[in-house]
Amino acid sequence: MNRRWMLKTHGDPLGRVRTFLGDVWQQLELDSLLVPNTDCGINQLELRRLDSPGQLHQVNPFQPLMTANTARYLPGLLNVCSDARMGVLLRPCEMRALVEMVKHDSLRLDRLFTICIDCLGTLPQDEYEWRAARKGSPGALAQEALQFARQGGIVPYRYRSACQMCFSPEAKGGDVNLHVLGLPARQYLLFDVGSEAVAEKLGLNMKSPVAKESLVLSEWDKAVATLVDRRIRARDRVSHSLAATLPDTTRDITEMLEGCGNCQECLKVCPICAVDFPDRRAGGHYADHEVARWLMSCDGCGMCEEACPEHRPLSAIFGHMRELLTEPSGYVPGRSLEEPLPLN
């Protein structure tokens, strides 16, 4: 589907998004919704499973902090809640990860409803805490992010390195995709849906979508294109500065991982590894083809870099290797559930 609808915010984009999520919850008859928990203090952004739309006042999807990839937790939750209809709120990199996890493990999504939201970028945790303290509350940071949504975010040079180099910050692939980039958030946002079935359940067939040639859509498209171009240039700068140390082959990455001893912290936080963990064989060696298969599906979330005790620039290293591996086939991680992995 390529239709988009307008969501008027009337000066309160966060409140309107919460109301919208509540409407989606009720119309799709969800039993629960998995969200980042932003109501538990500056140091404790964690995942939370909501059991009632009345709890949505705790949800702030625009908070510029990401301490875990939500997709990594979904296989376990889907097993525990196998008979329930569960919704999940995802950033674009988390949505890409979920698509790749399905390919690695045949994860079933028939009872999972995904809501993906444009990402305005996230800060390193220490930067986030410092800025939140200066602003007086974490919520003030989210308001600031929304204020500059039309410009594609604020202080991008302070973002986590993964966000600075993100190859696709726009919401897509979800059952519902909510757009804020390039838009006057205090006036309106945009959203689209993944299928006619969802459109029918949400009653969208009775509402007029935004005209394809409208200025509203061109503003969003322009903002996304500008943001992607900015991040490609940031990635090129980082790659240039690290040129002497970037890997050229899967064997280089494999040897790097083997040289880390028994650490595996980057693997433990990776959503792909949650369903397809590279096996360490006798002698402490990884199989090159398993490492390559993992890296081809890298969603670019950067949780590996956040977890690395050696503070290696893993977002750049793994991203560079992903591009080398996927360039011959033109494969893009998370683009489509129907697109098979180039390496099986």
pLDDT, position 46: 64
pLDDT tens-digit profile of 326-337?
999 999 999 999
Shared domain for 144 and 207, answered yes or no, is: yes
pLDDT tens-digit profile of 300-323?
999 999 999 999 999 999 999 999
pLDDT tens-digit profile of 105-116?
888 888 899 999
pLDDT, position 218: 85
Instruction: Please state, rounded to an integer, the average pLDDT across all residues of the chain.
Output: 90
41, pLDDT greater than 80: no
Shared domain for 143 and 252, answered yes or no, is: no
Instruction: Select the more confidently predicted residue: 84 or 258.
Output: 258
Instruction: Tell me if 94 sits within 8 A of 70, measured CB to CB.
Output: yes
1, pLDDT greater than 60: yes
Shared domain for 233 and 266, answered yes or no, is: no
pLDDT, position 93: 97
Decide if 18 is inside a domain. yes
Confidence of residue 42 (pLDDT cuts 50, 70, 90): very low
Determine which of 29-43, 113-127, 154-168, 275-289 has the lowest per-residue pLDDT on average. 29-43
Shared domain for 61 and 202, answered yes or no, is: yes
Shared domain for 187 and 269, answered yes or no, is: no
Structural domain of 249: 242-326
Shared domain for 140 and 254, answered yes or no, is: no
pLDDT tens-digit profile of 196-223?
999 999 999 888 999 887 888 888 888 8
pLDDT tens-digit profile of 54-96?
999 989 999 999 989 999 999 988 888 777 899 999 999 999 9
Confidence of residue 38 (pLDDT cuts 50, 70, 90): low
Shared domain for 151 and 181, answered yes or no, is: yes
Shared domain for 156 and 274, answered yes or no, is: no
pLDDT tens-digit profile of 3-27?
999 999 999 999 999 999 999 999 9
pTM recorded for the entire structure: 0.94
Total structural domains in the chain?
A: 2
Decide if 342 is inside a domain. no
pLDDT, position 37: 67
Decide if 336 is inside a domain. no
Shared domain for 221 and 267, answered yes or no, is: no
